Structure 1
């Protein structure tokens, strides 16, 4: 207890440090992947590379995931802090990035669906480490294998963005064509037929 008080102040501060100290904060990735000079794929790759980077540490990363899952099941005050810092902030930044590349003035429900799916690819791999290691351990066996995930997830996300772009294009209402103007020889007033008088005797 003396060491905890000396280094962290109290147990709550120690518990908070365990969430972010080992691997840093996802919020710190925002300035990197939001750089205007990056293409969309480069920005997505930057996000995934940063989000998955801690998986290089193997067992330590799995222990941190267990701690986060416990916090979600039995939330303390720390959950709201983490939600704002490492979930909401990166998600809002990703929504802004996708709006920019899709030419949208603001995010709508479909854009939020796309955003949560794109960012969720990284979070799913984090939470499925145990499953991946049990079924296909080579996929997380080395830093190079983890980096390959970042490359592939960027490709998958680009496909989803392209699909959403096509969906929005198809959903746009067709521009009504102008009504055809009547030809000069056509009159709107029907012609009267005049009956010919018979000249027969």
Structure 2
């Protein structure tokens, strides 16, 4: 009989006390195996064995392997799209809005190894895309980035985002995604920077400052461009 799966500390889908129920064990086992092996090379039988349950439990709780796989992109940490109403709420200062974005998007890093497994799962999905990729791209990539672009437009006094505003929005959201994907690098060279929930929360504060600096730079660039255009001589005007 396989050994019981190791549960990460403060697992966000585990009960606070007692052994995890079968559905949770299946999610944890599927996360580990899909992240390590990929979707195609992971069987329902292997997941059931890792979770110490029977194959029928997968059908009972999820229906099939594809549905279990899809649940991993929503159940453990929720959806990045769910953050959109929080950081785009009218009346927020830009600092507060950006802080809410970074706090929400970095909160899963509080869970250590579990968060690293989720990152490996997403990287595998990008490299070996399944039907889930298009859903993730639309819901948790395109949607939040569009919302960030609209937020920045509002604070920079623009009606609609242009290419430079999309570049800025992708760079701002990319600050969080970079930390997600570089967890193991950070832990290898500066482990104290992710050693505690407080350390993760400090990242959210610093990334807010960095993002505000980029927004300020873009504002200055646009003002300088507008001033240059207004002072340029009009070739069609008479001498």
2:221 & 2:90 partners in 1: Cα distance? 25
Are 2:68 and 1:14 aligned?
A: yes
Q: What is residue 149 of structure 1 aligned with on the other side?
A: 203
Distance in 2, matches of 1:36 and 1:123, equals: 25
2:134 equivalent in structure 1: 80
Deviations 1:47-97 (A, max 9, x none): 000000000001000000001000100000100111111111110000000
Write the distance in 2 (CA, Å) between the matches of 1:142 and 1:21. Answer: 23
Match of 2:8 in 1: none
1:175: Cα distance to partner? 5.0
Q: How does 1:46-61 map to 2 (within 5 A)?
A: 46-61=100-115
Find the aligned partners of 1:83 and 1:57 in 2 and give their Cα distance: 24
Gaps of 5+ in 1: 178-201
Of 21, 25, 44, the residue aligned with 2:98 is 44
Q: Select the structure with the greater relative contact order (CA < 8 A; seq sep ≥ 6).
A: 1
Aligned residue for 1:118? 172
Out of 128, 151, 154, which is 2:182 matched to? 128
TM superposition shift of 1:176: 7.0
Give distance in 2, aligned partners of 1:76 and 1:84. Answer: 14
**TM-score using structure 1 length:** 0.86
Aligned residues: 177
Q: What is the distance in 1 between the residues matched to 2:94 and 2:78?
A: 24
1:63 aligned to which of 90, 100, 117: 117
Please give the secondary structure, in 1, of the residue aligned with 2:63.
Answer: coil
| Superposition TM-score, scaled by structure 2 size | 0.73
CA root-mean-square deviation? 1.1
Q: Which has the larger radius of gyration?
A: 1
Distance 2:211 2:57 in 1: 45
Between the aligned partners of 2:139 and 2:194, the Cα distance in structure 1 is 26
SS of residue matched to 2:76 = coil
How far is the alpha carbon of 1:19 from its aligned partner? 1.7
Q: Which consecutive unaligned segments of at least 5 residues does structure 2 have?
A: 1-54, 234-239
Structure 1 outlier segments of 4+, above 6 Å: none
Give 1:30 shift: 0.4
Match of 1:89 in 2: 143
1:10-55 residue CA offsets vs partner (Å, 9 max, x unmatched): 1000001112210000000000000112100100000000000000
